[in-house]
A and B are shown apart, each in its own frame.
Chain A
């Protein structure tokens, strides 16, 4: 549904004759569209293309605090990339980034598909309540949600520790979640899944509502089981939207910088450092702007792989006449 609706109106079929008054000389009309998009193009060139080019240039230079102040950076070719790629810590971070992404995305997609299927089967009142609570969780600002999760998992007064202790897991009495790498990692996954499922579930649910009910009825009359209906009917119809949501979630998980920075700053001992956190740490804390930029560029290259898949999916949908 989204990209399909986005197709530009088929202008070609409009009656070609417009009021004749409007085109005495053609040239001013020719310039209008370019004048209208000029501010947008200007903004994108200055705030997107230029920084991107600048990042590439910095990643090829020797650029530290001294060069930031004096401004005479030297080109060193691919030295920064070589330094990064031969650093075992960088590889650990990259590996962790992919594990983090995979765990999050799988959880998000599975849970949100289940929630969407469930929401569709609910009666009207239940559906409204579920959708409302999804929207509320979705609306929670990232920083606010992060502080709330820190409070939920507070070692002394956090409700999670107290509930777990009350349930008989005595080892969770004053358990310091943020001192343990795996535990911090788990909390971040929980936080990101909690924040991301609403968008994915609501989008998948609205895609589900576009599947005609007659199809289900005839499938059921043919004696198909629930899982069979999902595999051969629901999922194929949902596929385009499912792929879109999947690629968006991959990209957004790559960008889960804020939650990590606010909650753990990548710690304890690097246990929650993923590529964007690593890049910022290297650049702004260690003042190695060159290495940080190189790490960012590697992140961009990895992410653009996903972007290519996303755009292919989107354009295939746009060209599809349906």
Chain B
């Protein structure tokens, strides 16, 4: 074999890599760059790949649009509420599954796995009717509860996985030294669990932050209680045909998710694979 051959053989491989990167990134890039382009460049017959002048006008218009701040706040409140609730509940449940022996443990985990695969899109109608019957339609806590339920199974599965890697002997040693069982757990296991808590809460954050279907159908009359994805989807009414502002708003909305994912990159695969769930 000549030394040239491997290099030549790498050409199609590298070309394929370049195509993959371009295809993955182009829509994201096009969103961000449109958001920075002046309107006359957006509405031109010859689009520029790199904007020649940059402007913040679109961002200003998106932020000043009716209710942007309000919807941002709604989204943050609902998301945080759902994530904290599901962390708290999942911590107890995963401790019970990973550390204690009891009858029905296997059945409980089966229920969790089923819940994880639950056909949420098919439950919109009954949940709409139940919320209506209990006077919970058009209210943010309803969304919080639904998102809590959507993220809970995944959180339990992943936290159980993390807890299983922490040897119980550590806690037992603390208990021998005079800690209570709860004390041993909070002082010894909880700090070791921090990466797991981080990963699951960030995944929960992304799921709840992006959820659209329930936000769209459970908040109908009370427009002030809408969340960002719903607001964004109604952009054509909000901005007319202002694509610059639409792309600016999309960028602002996508930013938290993009940043979190990049920070999490290393844990993304293992965590998602462990829970076998996508947002």
Contact = CB atoms under 8 A, between A and B. Distances in A.
Task: State yes or no: do A and B come from one complex.
Answer: yes
Interface of A: 1-3, 5-6, 8-9, 11, 14, 18-19, 22, 30, 32-34, 36-37, 39-41, 43-44, 47-48, 50-52, 54-55, 58, 68, 71, 114-115, 118-119, 121-122, 126, 129-149, 151-152, 154, 156-157, 159, 162, 194, 196, 198-199, 202-203, 206, 244, 248, 251-252, 254-255, 257-258, 261-262, 276, 279-280, 283-284, 289, 292-293, 296-297, 299-300, 303, 307, 310-311, 314
B269 interface: yes
A205 B209 CA distance: 28
A139 B259 CA distance: 9
Nearest to B163: A9
B273 interface: yes
Interface string B1-31: 0000000000001101100110111011011
Contacts of B261: 135-136, 138-139
B67 to A, nearest CB: 16
Contacts of A122: 13-14, 17
A68 B129 contact: yes
Nearest to A47: B149
A14 B145 CA distance: 39
B262 interface: yes
Interface in B135-187: 145-146, 148-149, 152-153, 156-157, 160-161, 164, 168, 172, 175-176, 181
Contacts of A254: 119, 121
Interface residues of B, number: 103
A194 B27 contact: yes
A68 B129 CA distance: 8
Contacts, number: 280
A149 B125 contact: no
Interface of B: 13-14, 16-17, 20-21, 23-25, 27-28, 30-31, 34, 42-47, 89-90, 92-93, 95-98, 100-102, 105, 108, 111-115, 117-130, 132-133, 145-146, 148-149, 152-153, 156-157, 160-161, 164, 168, 172, 175-176, 181, 206, 209-210, 212-213, 216-217, 229, 232-233, 235, 243, 246-247, 250-251, 253-254, 257-258, 260-262, 265, 268-270, 272-276, 278
A142 B257 CA distance: 11
Contacts of B213: 257-258, 261
Contact of B254 (A130, A140, A162): A140
A118 B13 contact: yes
A121 B28 CA distance: 26
Contacts of B105: 33
Contact of B89 (A39, A48, A279): A39
A141 B269 contact: no
A36 B104 CA distance: 13
